[in-house]
Amino acid sequence: MAVIDCNSYKVYVNEAWGKLQTIIDENSYSKIGVLVDENTQNFCLPIFKEKLNTDQYIVILIQSGEQEKNIETCKVIWSELLEHGFDRHSLLINLGGGVIGDMGGFCACTFMRGMDFIQIPTTLLSQVDASVGGKLGIDFRDYKNLIGVIKDPVTVWIDDDFLKTLAQRQIRSGYAEIIKHALIKDAEMWEEIKVIDNLDGIDWAPIIERSVSIKRDVVTEDQFEGGIRKILNFGHTLGHAIESENLYHDDPLLHGEAIGIGMILEAYISKEMLDLREEDYIDIKNYILRIYPHYRERLNNEENILEKLLKDKKNRRGMVNFSLLKQLGDCAFDVVPDQSTIIKSLEDYKNH
């Protein structure tokens, strides 16, 4: 049980649900909605309903999947809010993974210029990543999170009971952000987790708490991504490009799977450009390839990946900025590698 203070709001990990009920009751909302997809409707909503007094809550259902995270789905959500008589004194509870949280938060913030929302992330990925930082939004024309805003929720409620509803692949996807948080900021945590070979039967709560705290520390230093916050992008510059490129694949990569690849590639570039030691790079690569499959064929469209890189919203004046490891637990930002180094990193991954 832990409370992580993020200035304007708090993240609760495995706290008693009565606390959440109190937060909701205190605000006397005019209406309360719960946004779910068909998965969280089946697996998470029953848990949620058992814990809270939800007779008056209106359930808003959307289809699951990253491909639904677009403006058309926002129109569906806004329409539902309108039809059910929501107003700016209402509350939307986003019960689900990153798509639900990002898009539900965006819809809440923009409906009547802003109503309250509470995030209840139900995947490991959204618990350790999307739950802190206030980034909300949707994909647009193949670009991830191109449209969005930054705004904090009323509160974030994490319960590791929800993780029991997840497939192993989903757990693995979330774990990538835990690895990232350790690599950029906590070398000691890296030493502890890199011996974990099996993600079954892990007591996630303390790991989530530590991971969320790292992110909180970074984000509170820099809310609008002017500086240090950029270190959270480690693994994400190439990772996002690969994820975008694979969005319409028969079997799209999950976010964390793409970030796993991205971290290997960017650790390679870190070794080439900064002082990351060769042995630490090998360690990172081997560990990630022990947890995740080796997705060689996903990097075949090298040119498309490089083109996607140039459209990354973190760019300035067409330069592609990377966040790279100076050493374990220490990350630099705004580093611009040559295209040849980027290509070498892709080749190194494919030839492993």
Binding site for a second copy (CB under 8 A): 30, 71, 74-75, 78-79, 82, 85, 87-89, 109-114, 135-137, 140-141, 143, 145-150, 224, 311, 313-318
Least Å distance, CB 148 to a second copy, is 5
Q: Which is nearer to a second copy, 62 or 276 (CB)?
A: 62
Q: How far apart are CA 105 and CA 116, in angstroms?
A: 9
Full DSSP string of 268-286: HHHHHHS---HHHHHHHHH
Least Å distance, CB 308 to a second copy, is 12
Least Å distance, CB 325 to a second copy, is 24
Q: Which is nearer to a second copy, 314 or 326 (CB)?
A: 314
Q: Which is nearer to a second copy, 164 or 317 (CB)?
A: 317
User: Measuring CA to CA, which residue among 268, 274, 327, 271 is closest to residue 299?
Assistant: 268
- Starting at the edge strand found earlier in the chain, the sheet holding 10-13 runs 2-5, 10-13, 155-158, 116-121, 91-96, 32-37, 58-62
Q: Which is nearer to a second copy, 88 or 294 (CB)?
A: 88
Least Å distance, CB 142 to a second copy, is 10
Burial class (CB in 10 A: 0-12, 13-18, 19+), 214: buried
Is 93:32 a contact under the CB 8 Å cutoff? yes
Please provide the distance, in angstroms rounded to a whole number, between the alpha carbons at the two ends of the chain: 42
Least Å distance, CB 21 to a second copy, is 20
Q: How far apart are CA 132 and CA 301, in angstroms?
A: 33
Least Å distance, CB 303 to a second copy, is 18
Q: Which is nearer to a second copy, 148 or 260 (CB)?
A: 148
Residue 27: other Cβ atoms inside 10 A: 15
Q: Which is nearer to a second copy, 51 or 314 (CB)?
A: 314
